[in-house]
Amino acid sequence: MRTFEAVSAVGIPSCFTRSSAIADLGRQTFDVLVIGGGIGGACAAWDAALRGLRVGLVERADFASATSAHSLKVLHGGIRYLQHLDIARLQESCRERAAFLRIAPHLTRPIPVALPTYGFGLRGKLPLRVAFQLLNVLTAGRNKGIQNKAQHVPPPYIMSRSEFLKRFPAFEDSGLTGAGVFYDGQMLNPPRIVYSIVRSAQQCGAVIANYCSAERLLVKAGRIEGVVVRDTCTGESFDVRSRIVANLTGPFAPTLNHDQFGGERLDVPLSRDLALVLNRKLLPGMGLGIQTRYRDPDAWFSRGNRHLFMMPWRDRTLIGVNSRVYDGDPYQLQVTEAEIEAFIAEINEACPALRIERSDVAVVNAGLLPFGENAPGQKDLSFGKRSLLVDHAQRGGADGLITGMSVRWTMGRLLGEKVTDMAAKKLGTPGKACVTSHTAVYGGDVPDRALLLESIRKQAGVQVSETVIGQLADTFGSIAAQVLTLNSDGALSDEAALEAQVRFVARNEMVVTLADIVLRRLDLGTAGKLSDHVLADCARVAGEELNWDDVRRRAEIERVRAGYPFAAPATQEYRGAV
């Protein structure tokens, strides 16, 4: 087995900057131009570049700054689809969960989730035991190709009542008989995963720029020739030439296609999914499903109503999701105080012992996803089943335009594969197979986490806490050693290690704003407000790297503060000096 030291000896490539990317976007002709830097767009760009295509990507804000950032942070393995008798989707989800556990081991984890059992009917142990046995058979290959055994998804099992109450004493109930425990995947920092895939695509030759908005298509004789792109930092526009344009902007795709590209109106219902970060640690390293008043209209067999899921995350608790049909402007997504209060009431109704209050909510995550067909005012909602993939030439539109929308985060890699398959076929170069399901992302070449931690510990020294050492490992993976070399003092402490992280991402990872650093490249501000001291230190270091004056630093700090508690997609483009 390789040691971590052998992996970490590989240096990072030269820096990829926005200015050089924008220059290259304006002078090259691409095979595929991807619009959208969320999980689907990042995976498509990476896949296409790995297959030898000339690839560009533009993102109107920062990478993974909208729906891809704001979720329950779960890699769904598809257990719910057993109730729908949708075996194909169950196995597809299981494969995609395994792919992310395999390619980004520093940023993902298997996590157990308990489903309480009651009595001897459908909510009892026996039906769940049967379902688990079926799940185990249908997902027998769930760990295929995952060499790191710490990333393996164990089989589900039944937990006794006494063991359940030992872990979850607040859930004492006279009818409780125990719980069934299954495993899913958890993302430590979804935007960091997306950026790692973006960087992987760059390393394969893709030309990528954030804060660049696609304005309109370039079309000649019914054939796509590229896109007019505007640098939202400077306001300047330029043409990007490409044989294929892939609109992978998630919930913004229908609006972009119709309003700005002049194409067909894609009828895709949207769901506003809401998850709350609570500043209370309620769970002992295990998630918990609690039933709500709402049922699943698509279920053929059901133990009862839908579940809310509570997940331990960064010494906090994530609870979600609350969904509703969203028919507004996707660029103007808002979450009202009334919606937050209603969700809190739903949680407390499902589990009164929690006594959640508004003051417990540290961060509000909201994003838009494709929904199922639901009548106006319908309470028991049908959720989206499959990702959307459209070749517009087959529907009377311009030849060379593809639109894709991932039905959920876990399906983003597969959407990227299917988009690349379609693009390669249209380009007449369909020979190469996709390898993104088993290729490590930037920082993901980590054969053993224990070796990684020991290597960082040795380099960092005794003054750096285990919390910070773990943070370095879980953010940077195999490039953590490169980060620590940027410490300016020589002697490392927690403060110096934080400075090194901020300096590294500001210097190397295409950040434009302070929010890019603390909310996306690093995991500093996604679980709650940063202290004034830490935020000021981050702004100081970023300012030194990005040449910010005092006015700009203060503006960046206020911009981050103004975002709490709503970690929802930004409604305004960024304007400022780069």
* End-of-domain residue from the set 438, 464, 480: 438
Q: Are residues 474 and 359 in the same domain?
A: no
Interatomic CA distance for residues 188 and 435, integer angstroms: 24
Residue numbers of the domain that contains 353: 83-101+108-187+270-369
Q: Are residues 469 and 542 in the same domain?
A: yes
Interatomic CA distance for residues 64 and 517, integer angstroms: 12
What's residue 423's pLDDT?
Answer: 97
- The verdict on residue 248 lying in a domain is yes
What's residue 318's pLDDT?
Answer: 96
Interatomic CA distance for residues 305 and 236, integer angstroms: 52
Indicate if the pLDDT at residue 570 is higher than 90: no
CATH classification at residue 177: 3.30.9.10
Q: Are residues 459 and 431 in the same domain?
A: no
Indicate if the pLDDT at residue 412 is higher than 80: yes
Indicate if the pLDDT at residue 376 is higher than 70: no
Q: Are residues 282 and 257 in the same domain?
A: no
Indicate if the pLDDT at residue 238 is higher than 90: yes
DSSP H or E stretch at residue 216:
strand 212-220
- The verdict on residue 380 lying in a domain is no
For the ranges 263-277, 334-348, 377-391, 399-413, the lowest mean pLDDT is seen at 377-391
Mean pLDDT, the chain, rounded, equals: 88
What's residue 488's pLDDT?
Answer: 57
What's residue 82's pLDDT?
Answer: 84
* End-of-domain residue from the set 335, 369, 403: 369
Per mean pLDDT, which of 225-239, 341-355, 444-458 is the most reliable?
225-239
What's residue 173's pLDDT?
Answer: 79
Higher per-residue confidence, 378 vs 251: 251
The average pLDDT across 7-32 equals: 76
Q: Are residues 177 and 288 in the same domain?
A: yes
- The verdict on residue 549 lying in a domain is yes
- The verdict on residue 572 lying in a domain is no
Q: Are residues 543 and 417 in the same domain?
A: no
Interatomic CA distance for residues 271 and 337, integer angstroms: 18
Bond preceding residue 127 cis, omega within 30 of 0: no
332-345 residue pLDDT tens: 998 999 999 999 99
DSSP H or E stretch at residue 241:
strand 237-247
Q: Are residues 241 and 331 in the same domain?
A: no
- The verdict on residue 213 lying in a domain is yes
CATH classification at residue 411: 3.50.50.60
- The verdict on residue 72 lying in a domain is no
DSSP H or E stretch at residue 274:
strand 270-278
Q: Are residues 360 and 402 in the same domain?
A: no
Q: Are residues 196 and 257 in the same domain?
A: yes
The domain total for the chain is: 3
* End-of-domain residue from the set 378, 405, 438: 438
Structure tokens at 363: 């961060």
Nearest to 418 by CA among 464, 453, 386: 386
Q: Are residues 280 and 402 in the same domain?
A: no
The average pLDDT across 256-280 equals: 90
Indicate if the pLDDT at residue 119 is higher than 80: yes
What's residue 577's pLDDT?
Answer: 31
Task: Tell me the HSE value of 200 on the side-chain side, using a 13 A CA sphere.
Answer: 28
Indicate if the pLDDT at residue 84 is higher than 80: no
The average pLDDT across 22-47 equals: 97
483-500 residue pLDDT tens: 988 875 656 899 999 999
CATH classification at residue 561: 1.10.8.870
Q: Are residues 206 and 222 in the same domain?
A: yes
- Percent of the chain's residues with pLDDT above 90: 71
Where does the pLDDT of residue 544 fall: very low under 50, low under 70, confident under 90, or very high at 90 and above? Answer: very high
- The verdict on residue 163 lying in a domain is yes
Indicate if the pLDDT at residue 432 is higher than 50: yes
The average pLDDT across 13-31 equals: 87
Report the relative pairing of strands 270-278 and 361-370 from DSSP bridges. Answer: antiparallel
Where does the pLDDT of residue 389 fall: very low under 50, low under 70, confident under 90, or very high at 90 and above? Answer: very high
Indicate if the pLDDT at residue 349 is higher than 60: yes
The average pLDDT across 102-114 equals: 97
- The verdict on residue 203 lying in a domain is yes
Q: Are residues 205 and 309 in the same domain?
A: no
Give the contacts of 223 (CB within 8 A, at least 6 positions apart): 398, 399, 400
Structure tokens at 103: 């390619």
